[in-house]
Amino acid sequence: MLGARHHQRRYDGQLAVVTGASSGIGRAVALTLATRGAQVIGLARRRDLLDELATELAQRSPGSATEVCDVGDADVYRATLARLASDRGKIDILINNAGIDIDLHVASDQGDGNATTHEVFDINFFAAVAGTLAVVPAMVQRGAGIVVNVSSDTARAPEPGQGAYAASKAAVSAFTESVAHEVAPLGVHVHVLYPGWVPTAMGLSGPEQGGSLPPKMVRRTADGVAALVANRMGGPRTDINAAVLPLLAPIARIIAPVSYQKSMRRFSP
């Protein structure tokens, strides 16, 4: 399905920093990389969940640890990465996974939409920018390194009420692709991950939450996405796509724009 079992790439002796590591995709990626030999530093805001993760990481990879860090505060995030690079010698891998999704319904009186958009961008986009810019120069000097920035298929096919989230993820995609083109000839691999639909705390929208499940062709598990990332990052392709179906959205928009618009507007609240 994801091609994750065909090649078990190892990361022995490498230091990986994973944001949003306390749950969901971030947690799965952190544990997968630790299993593959990396020393992993998991960053997130929730201390209780990080403590649970720290125990599992240390069992899989001695030297791994967790740390509370709000990546939405760019100065704090940059300082944390600088300290980790100094204490550990270098950062080989950075996974910018932390993200939030807050609905933005502009047709209703729902408070300060500008504040909502800024909050979403601070964590989803500006944190990824801050992290990337903090680690890439040293990677370029060494001629090696990996950055994975997590986007969303919503960036390719924005749904009603998802203006802030979709825009932030589209910005992540554009920024990452530009950086990838620049640093690829210098030995640094920068990727953008499109994880499909994963039933994480942020992504839950099934029948129990009053929503509906997406097609099976786009449903993925956190562990499956983590294995895909571990296998594909460092390879020649910038995009890491967990599902193929969303790739058709831009084509449908061009070939049958009216039908495409009608299908997307069915999601309107």
Domain assignment present for 229: yes
Domain, as residue range, for 133: 15-265
- Residue 44's DSSP bridge partners are 68
Domain assignment present for 9: no
**Hey, what long-range contacts does 200-203 have (CB within 8 A, 24 or more apart)?**
200/23, 200/24, 200/25, 201/23, 201/24, 202/24, 202/99, 202/100, 202/101, 203/24, 203/101
- Enumerate the active-site residues: 165
How far out from the chain centre does Cα 240 lie?
11
CB 25 within 8 A of CB 200: yes
Q: What angle do CA 152, 156, 157 make, to 5 degrees?
A: 105
Domain assignment present for 259: yes
pLDDT in 10s for each residue of the chain, 269 residues:
444 445 689 999 999 999 999 999 999 999 999 999 999 999 999 999 999 999 999 999 999 999 999 999 999 999 999 999 999 999 999 999 999 999 888 877 556 789 999 999 999 999 999 999 999 999 999 999 999 999 999 999 888 888 999 999 999 999 999 999 999 999 999 999 999 888 866 554 444 444 566 667 778 899 999 999 999 999 999 999 988 877 778 888 788 888 868 877 776 66
Domain assignment present for 212: yes
Domain assignment present for 249: yes
The pLDDT score that the predictor gives to residue 1 is 41
Domain assignment present for 98: yes
Domain count, the chain: 1
The pLDDT score that the predictor gives to residue 264 is 72
Type of residue numbered 57: L
Domain assignment present for 88: yes
The pLDDT score that the predictor gives to residue 243 is 85
* Alpha-carbon span 174 to 181, nearest angstrom: 11
Domain assignment present for 6: no
Q: What's the CATH code of the domain at 44?
A: 3.40.50.720
